[in-house]
């Protein structure tokens, strides 16, 4: 499996503050491109459960809203925050909206998409709620396509392998 390291990549939080993947050094992280008006949006519930279940063991979920798939994340950052916290009780960190593919692809996703999934396929994100697992060292160690539910045994097992605590 190919690997990429994302440790030094910066991004903007949903609150407009600068952040870096280095802020999560020493933690396992699940990066997910999210959308509020997608058939997979109910995955927010499972993502929050993962964040809650493994928080004390050094794990974070990071959501990256993206409007590139049929315009399914049309709102601004305030609208996204209101929706995710109000409807799903999301407390895990969210970033400002980004592009996960194409000409404006965020540098984080330029690295993430070099890693292959379980079928050996790398390349562009296929849809909303694609998941990338990052080790405490900043290496991308797993890629899970959109229809893999947050509670799927293969995803939970991969997270547990990376937990630092």
Annotated catalytic residues are: 38
Cβ neighbour number for residue 19 with a 10 Å cutoff: 17
* 129-138 burial code (b ≥16 CB/10 A, e <16): bbbbbbbbeb
CB-CB contact of 63 with 100 (8 Å): no
Q: Give which of 115, 102, 100 is closest to 62, Cα–Cα.
A: 100
| CA 164/CA 42 separation, integer angstroms | 28
Residue that has been written with the tokens 């694609």 in this structure: 130
Whole-angstrom distance, CA of residue 71 vs CA of residue 151: 26
């Amino acid at each position: 499996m190919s690997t990429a390291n994302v440790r030094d990549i910066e991004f903007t939080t949903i609150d407009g503050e600068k952040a870096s993947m280095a802020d999560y050094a020493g933690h396992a992280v699940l990066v997910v491109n999210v959308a509020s008006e997608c058939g997979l949006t109910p995955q927010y519930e499972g993502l929050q459960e993962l964040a809650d279940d493994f928080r004390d063991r050094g794990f974070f979920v990071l959501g990256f809203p993206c409007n590139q798939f049929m315009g399914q994340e049309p709102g601004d950052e305030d609208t996204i925050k209101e929706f995710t916290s109000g409807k799903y009780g999301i407390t895990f960190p969210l970033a400002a909206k980004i592009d996960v593919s194409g000409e404006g692809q965020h540098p984080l996703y330029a690295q993430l998409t070099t890693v292959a999934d379980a079928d050996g396929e790398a390349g562009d994100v296929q849809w909303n709620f694609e998941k990338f697992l990052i080790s405490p060292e900043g290496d991308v160690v797993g890629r899970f396509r959109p229809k893999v539910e947050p509670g799927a045994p293969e995803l939970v097992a991969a997270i547990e392998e990376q937990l630092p605590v």
